[in-house]
Amino acid sequence: MLDARLLAAAGLLGPCELFVDVGANHGFLGAYMLRAGLCGRALLTDISASALQRARRTLAEEGLEDRAELLVQDGLQGLRLDPKDGVAVCGMGARTILHILQGGLPCRAVLQPNVELARLRVQLASASMRIRDERIASSGGRFYVLLLAEPGREERPYTQREALLGRFWTKDPLAEPYLAWRRAVAKAALEGALQGKDEEKLRRARLEWEALTEL
């Protein structure tokens, strides 16, 4: 059974021919995509061989081994993808995700950064990709923001406020509780920055607090 975060990832990405899960770990997302008929084949990659052993067991338990391939490797190196394929890169830092996407993709990708979400929104353009949609998920007492990216360029650059908050949150049913949680986190960050001597950290904390307060 998928948690809300991975269910949101599957729903946001939608159907594809080949599904590639980068950093597949336990393999739950790939197994779900196959079982739900959202992809014809799945390729699960991870830099950890032991993680892929867990994924192999997951696929075997569900009788899906013949439709999946597992590779121990770093990111998407050497893979040839098609516009009808789909990629998931979830549970990593924004810088790692950007490194994996360098050079861009010919297909859609669902991205879920654990940190530096604003950086990912702004710098996706460097991978010749644009954000098509976003979704908020709540799991285990935490909120997660997932981005659906596709090949192409944004019509206009992200402003600082848009980088912090995105362009799609107003239509999400979890927007209000998510923003309340963000306010609490931002308030604590601002109070901590006011006690320190890092001017750049204070500037970022104040900018986020002011943007959230405007809402």
Q: Indicate the domain borders of the chain.
A: 4-169, 177-214
pLDDT digits (tens, 9 = 90+) for 37-74: 999 999 999 999 998 999 999 999 999 999 999 999 98
**CATH architecture of the domain covering 4-169:** 3-Layer(aba) Sandwich (3.40)
Whether the CB-CB separation of 29 and 42 falls below 8 Å is answered with: no
- Once rounded to an integer, what is the mean pLDDT over residues 6-28? 97
The yes-or-no verdict on residue 169 having pLDDT over 80 is no
Backbone angles phi, psi at 49, to 5 degrees: -65, -35
Answer yes or no: is pLDDT of 1 > 80.
no
**More reliable by pLDDT, 212 or 10:** 10
Does the structure show a pLDDT above 80 at 175? yes
The answer to whether residues 48 and 54 touch, using CB atoms and an 8 Å cutoff, is no
Q: What percent of the chain has pLDDT over 70?
A: 100
Higher pLDDT, 103 or 143: 143
What is the average per-residue pLDDT within 80-99?
A: 97
What is residue 109's predicted lDDT score, i.e. its pLDDT? Answer: 98
- pTM surpassing 0.75? yes
Confidence check: pLDDT of 215 > 80: no
- With beta carbons less than 8 A apart as the criterion, state whether 113 and 101 touch: no
Contact 163, 122 (CB under 8 A): yes
Q: What is the pLDDT of residue 214?
A: 81
Q: Given this model, what pLDDT does residue 67 score?
A: 97
What residue has token string 């976003």? 134
Q: What is the mean pLDDT of the chain?
A: 94
**Tokens, residue 98:** 């950007």
Q: Torsion angle, CA of 103/146/6/23, rounded to 10 degrees? A: 30
